[in-house]
Structure 1
């Protein structure tokens, strides 16, 4: 009881961990989208010229605006005083060049920084501060404050204030709203945002002169537009970020040279108005800012990494599909050549022992046994090993009284134990193993043993079909069997690294089985463990596509979960047990150099990354270019559909279930990668998974007549 409670706690803990990881991933992507202007950035202000204007005292006043309660004041710079201001930075290329020009002329400026760019380049922010220049806020994402709701405007200013505190240790009090210009242009939502910011202590800085450097009219035009008239003081707007600012740098140099000769002084906004310097930031603001900088940096690096992972995963997926199709074609040609070669050799008519391990298989055992008795292969011994069933499985078989059928009763010990008992009792060299819920085609046994004409073959995998396919879950599994399992087996056959002969239909030499000590009980995937052991001892394991067996697939998501959880966990156990195959030489090492890396990459690693990839794909649809993301997804789906068509044709199946393939991507695929995550976590925690037996209903037997047509 205590052990079960511990397992439940572990399960809950790692699902909580997965949810936490996905939440962190989602937050990282949202932060990246927000800071990289993919989420909610305004390109231009949407306010029209007819919006409600600011008060006349603001529109007719100076460019620096203070709001204190209901009182609004504005100020302008004195004569012969210029405040050079720079928007849209910091930029790692152009801000340092602007600083060089200012230093050469002994000028000071005020830099209105975009918070996201300040977080990306905190070293440039510190360079601006260390050179004695003033720093102001230009919002966090260059959002038009008049076009966003108040909470978003407050967030833009708060994040920018924190990040500048973390980067330079200053508490900014100057604000320039993006897309603003002269005071007379302040109106509507922008003015309301300025008024709210004033209540929080900000001084809003508009401009007297716009250099229009953002239009790149040429250095001379920039300098001319920024030159004050009649010795007046002015706040002049330039840009040190947001694009190529080569003309800005050149025009600024020309302007400073011209105005120096006219006796102008170049200062910051605060110094020009006689205000005290910007205060130092509080400790809490610094800590928050540093945390935000690191969070943004981490989010960006994670997003870049995920873009590469998604690219590599997509390339590997496409490559896998191509390899599967190419090698399937190679397998078809080899099979044809082998059949011609077999025509020159005696057909295999050796007697066969069929072992049926059965535990509570009352629902389908009769159909299984009757299909074996109907086999066209002569001299078939059928051993039904009842593994302590309590539903009368053995009694059902015994009551049939069919010739050649032997019932062996034993205490419950697991499937591997039942198979070993059957192997010990079998009388023949050729042994076929079949699950208790599986129905053989009449010629399945005969076709399955034909590859044993080659003395190098130690085991043969048959072709498993899903019998109960009327519902969508059954059709999904049918597609998985045909596309995944059977195409994979063709590839493994060609590469001589077959990792699994399925328990539903597999043929073996007794010599090969005894050579590896029989069926091991070390793992829950006894079929995979046994097959890998045979490969490592040098036996060839091949795939016989014409040997057909019909099995009952799980009919509920819960049953499917339990089955695949056992399969996946057992496969991980087998991979770990046979990991030394990677170092082995010759044909015995093909499993380690080909099969195990393939299993690890496509059945472990990529499924582990799948949840994060899915979140990233949703991010792309929501915040990047949705059409590009959808095009890529559609291309992958089309590749899968074409592969499915080819696989179904190879297996002589109708194409009807293809329509369920897109839906499979939204439910079935997610279930399968969650199974992998659960299995890997269970293995890492060192938990021992118990045998999970699927509840049988006999539905595959009921639908067998339809399934064998096969269905559409």
Structure 2
């Protein structure tokens, strides 16, 4: 598939401009009269806090009933389940067994697993599983074939025949009735793509996995609220259902970005294709269990997140999108990416000028809204693995945990602005059989 993203030099220029703008915004209030130094932060807190609060409160958690929403067999569209797997010997057998148990109309479901140059026993396990499960199609790629996960998915895309494809990670676990409930939701809603809520299967492993389980609930609440307020929802890589014709019209999976899901979300948006969010049933996955693994993962997420805004910003700010969509994207960008970099510049300026930081009102509002999103997401009705309760201790730990973004995003922005880009698709390791299987 042809690349549609911007070049590395193009992104470096935009990263440098973004870094400079945030640096000026964070430092400027320190040279204002002390009586007025807080006004920029207070004004932004009112605007962005109102946006965040509205998104959190607008989110609904409608339950999809497996019987009432089930389509008759003749109406079910053809579907391909697609997984890119590299060095996944610990989870690939469980994955195929779970996919084989999914209920769907006979002859309308195919499963594809791309062995993306694995150096462990993944290729041998997949070939043996293909003999046991006739619906399983295995594609083997050379490790140096290029394109990362996007390249692996594109290799399968040229062979798919289904009307829809469901993209999963190798550690995904699904309820047996998921497809019977997902497809009616997609068709009845007129969506071009649907993202499943992500649920963590190992939340009780340690405090870090518990915080990530709560973070996934927070993310789903914000996504649903943004969508239901007229804004934009996004794909999250694991558990994304996409209409194949729309995907191909959008250029397939972008091999010049480190986060194919975030990039595809914006390309679908620029093609007028809308993404829905399904709360239940969720796609279940593992959390990263260590701080070093989290740091590595979140750097990739931050880089891909910024890339998509830099690459598609002219379209995102044009009349091609609705006013509500443009407002949603602008507010989300400022909260997710602008605030951490501005806060870092604010703190640096306060140390140099020996003054009090000025953007703390906006940070307080942002963390407070996040706490409300935690509370709504963790106490609501949900299927799949239990989400940690939003008690005071869990909430405080989870809110403090979000502070890692205030380190990751400034650091990644600086790297993107200064260092030449070398695309690296770093995979997340999975524990597999070391974890209990969720029903």
TM-score range, shorter chain: 0.7 to 0.9
**Structural mapping, 1:254-653, within 5 Å:** 301=32, 307-316=38-47, 318-329=49-60, 332=61, 349-378=76-105, 379-400=108-129, 401-412=132-143, 413=146, 414-454=148-188, 456-470=190-204, 471-483=206-218, 485-495=219-229, 497-585=231-319, 588-589=321-322, 593-611=326-344, 640-652=370-382, 653=386
| Higher RCO (CA < 8 A, seq sep 6+) | 2
Instruction: Report which of the two structures shows the higher radius of gyration computed on alpha carbons.
Output: 1
Assess if the C-alpha contact under 8 Å between 2:45 and 2:365 holds in 1: no
Aligned equivalent of 2:435: 702
Aligned residue in 2 for 1:218: none
Secondary structure class of the residue paired with 1:439: coil
- Count of residues in Structure 1 that have an aligned counterpart in Structure 2: 400
Query: Pairwise mapping of residues 178-327 of structure 1 onto structure 2 (< 5 A)?
Result: 301=32, 307-316=38-47, 318-327=49-58
* Aligned counterpart for 2:402 among listed residues 634, 644, 669: 669
- Report if aligned partners of 2:173, 2:284 keep a CA contact under 8 Å in 1: yes
- Residues 461 and 344 (structure 1 numbering): CA distance in 2 closer, same or farther, change over 3 Å? closer
In 1, distance between residues paired with 2:428 and 2:70?
44
> In 1, are the aligned partners of 2:375 and 2:390 still within 8 Å (CA)?
no
TM-score by length of 2: 0.79
How many Å apart are 1:309 and its aligned residue?
Answer: 4.3
d(CA) in 1 for partners of 2:29 and 2:54? 36
Q: Higher mean Cα deviation, 449-458 or 499-508?
A: 449-458
Deviation at 1:328, TM superposition (A): 0.6
Q: 1:351 to 1:594 in 2, by over 3 A?
A: same
The TM-score with structure 1 as length reference comes to 0.50
2:86–2:115 Cα contact (<8 Å) kept:
yes
Superposed CA deviations along residues 527-552 of structure 1, whole A, max 9, x for unmatched, are 11112111111122111112311111
Determine if contact 1:306/1:616 at 8 Å carries over to the other structure. Answer: no
Alpha-carbon distance in 1 for matches of 2:330, 2:292: 30
**Shift in Å, 1:643:** 3.5
2:70 and 2:184 in contact (8 A); partners too: no
Give 1:561 deviation, angstroms: 1.1
Q: CA deviation at 1:558?
A: 1.1
Aligned positions of 1:64-103 closer than 5 A: none
Q: Pairwise mapping of residues 150-189 of structure 1 onto structure 2 (< 5 A)?
A: none
Between 1:681-690 and 1:636-645, the stretch displaced more is: 636-645
TM superposition shift of 1:339: 7.8
Q: CA deviation at 1:508?
A: 0.9
Distance 1:641 1:596, change over 3 A: closer
Secondary structure at the aligned position of 1:426 is classed as coil
- 8 A contact 2:55–2:229 mirrored in 1: no
CA shift, 1:655, in A, is: 5.0
Name the CA shift for 1:327/1:698 in 2 (closer, same or farther; >3 Å): same
Answer yes or no: is the 8 Å Cα contact 1:466–1:553 preserved in 2: yes
Change (3 A) 1:397 1:591: farther
User: Could you tell me how far apart the structure 2 residues matched to 1:661 and 1:615 are?
Assistant: 28
Q: Distance in 2 between matches of 1:352 and 1:298?
A: 55
Contact 1:355 1:382 in 2 (8 A): yes
Distance 1:576 1:530 in 2: 14
- Alignment partners' CA distance in 2, 1:646 and 1:527: 25
The alignment's C-alpha RMSD in Å is 3.7
Aligned partners of 2:366 and 2:331: how far apart in 1?
20
Check conservation: 1:499, 1:591, Cα contact below 8 A.
no
Return the alpha-carbon distance in structure 1 between the equivalents of residues 378 and 348 of structure 2: 31
Query: Which residue of structure 1 lines up, in the alignment, with residue 9 of structure 2?
Result: none
Alpha-carbon shift at residue 313 of structure 1 (Å) = 5.0
Instruction: Give the match for residue 411 of structure 2.
Output: 678
Q: Distance in 2 between matches of 1:634 and 1:593?
A: 25
